[in-house]
Amino acid sequence: MKRPLLILTGLALLLLPSLAGGEALPPALAAVLRPSDALLVTEEPHRVVYAQNPDTLSVPASTLKVATALMAFQTLGEAYRFPTDVALTNEHTLFLKGYGDPLLTSEVLEAYAKKVAGELMARGVRRVTGIRVDDTYVDRITIPGVSARSSQPYDAPNGALCANFNTVNYRRTKKEALVSAEPQTPLLPFVAKRIPRDAPGGRIRLSPAESRLYAGHLFGWFLQQHGITVTGTVAPRPMPEGPLPYTRRLFSPWTLPEVVQKLMAFSNNFMANQLFLTSGAHAKGSPATLEKGRKTFCDVMTRLIGQCPAVVEGSGISRKNTLTARTMDALLVCFKPYAPLLHKENGARYKTGTLNGVSTRVGYLAMPDGRQYRFVIFTHRANGNAGRILKALKIALADQAPRQ
């Protein structure tokens, strides 16, 4: 993949004033646009076909995740896998340290516990006398725009050691027993006491303080399933420095492109900001902070497209994130090698974005005759529908005669 050339092309597109024009909007497309909407449609490699307000600042909503993914690829590298560290002291206290893995699920924790249990038993260790969790890699952070009352996984608080998106899904049996709604995840007493007695079922979101302990409790439970007796408490504490009798760095089963594909498929705000934060820590040093994420984002965008869009977090949930359609088009040029990670539908690969009064869609469109386009659609109005605009755009392009 010729990524350096694509990066230079993305920068060059922003420097060419001749690209501001485009053809008159056909009636069918003009009918679904409003004067405030931003539209930029470019035939590969750089012929502007349609343009409306391409240089007006817009709220990108979740289409910002395209830029955040680019930031992660540029900073962490495509081969990156999130690590998690495990260590055991001479007193048999086990330490668990996280580095912001957004997919630290029960299945992953159990696989880690199985490996660690096997290695400990091979050393003659069959008992752990307490678990200490280290989440110091990511600072305490509040993401602008995230609802504190939401129990959805995509609104989970960010951190270094986040199991199951910091949420717990539960239900009641016919006999009114409270159980986990996910067969791979136990309903631990640590969590069960948080659930209201009259709750029929649902999901609870853990606080940052609870989430780090939850990862430790889960890991301890899985260790016991694989033959290690776990006693003592679970508590926060930084992992000791220096030599220890047992240390193990474990790596996520998911590569960064696989993480990004899941991020795009579910438009998960939590995952996006985990990438935003850990990229910042990787570039600027731990602990991860929003400010380091912003500075790293700005560094990467300046290198790729010659400018630094106004971004306060990495998911698109905040309305303080703004950029132009032309800037997004330049990012799409750079993102093109990763286009297969986006949702595919009827010849288009795209990312959507939705906030109250905001509907956006950006991506790539392949016509049956071989023509290739990039498109950026930003609407900021009640009843705005970027999907409807894309449908009209496809019809307009299909009616166009291919250029010779």
| Cα gap 212→98, rounded to integer Å | 9
| Cα gap 106→189, rounded to integer Å | 16
Q: Where is pLDDT greater, at 176 or 193?
A: 193
Contact 211, 106 (CB under 8 A): no
Q: What is the residue extent of each domain of the chain? A: 3-78+257-399, 83-254
**Residue 263, φ and ψ in degrees, nearest 5:** -60, -45
* pLDDT greater than 50 at residue 356: yes
CATH of domain 3-78+257-399: 3.40.710.10
In terms of average pLDDT, the best of 108-112, 146-150, 157-161, 193-197 is: 108-112
Q: Rounded to two decimals, what is the model's pTM?
A: 0.93
pLDDT in tens, 269-300: 999 999 999 999 999 999 999 999 999 999 99
pLDDT of residue 198: 79
* pLDDT greater than 90 at residue 404: no
* pLDDT greater than 60 at residue 204: yes
pLDDT of residue 241: 92
Does the domain at 83-254 match CATH 3.50.80.20? Answer given as yes
pLDDT of residue 239: 98
Q: For tokens 């930029």, name the residue.
A: 40
pLDDT of residue 398: 93
| Cα gap 206→203, rounded to integer Å | 10
Contact 109, 218 (CB under 8 A): yes
Q: What is the average per-residue pLDDT within 185-207?
A: 86
Residue 80 binned pLDDT confidence (cut-offs 50, 70, 90): very high
pLDDT in tens, 135-175: 999 999 999 988 766 767 777 889 999 999 999 999 988 77
pLDDT of residue 2: 43
Nearest to residue 271, comparing CAs of 179, 122, 164?
164
What is the 8-class DSSP label of residue 339? G
- Pairing mode of beta strands 83-88, 246-251: antiparallel
CA distances from 163 to 93, 270, 281, 351 (A): 20, 12, 20, 26
CA 212 to chain centre: 19
Share of the chain above pLDDT 90, in %: 79
What is the 8-class DSSP label of residue 146? -
pLDDT of residue 394: 97
Residue 16 binned pLDDT confidence (cut-offs 50, 70, 90): very low
Distance linking the first and last C-alpha atoms of the chain: 27
* pLDDT greater than 80 at residue 115: yes
* pLDDT greater than 60 at residue 317: yes
CA distances from 336 to 69, 220, 286 (A): 12, 43, 31
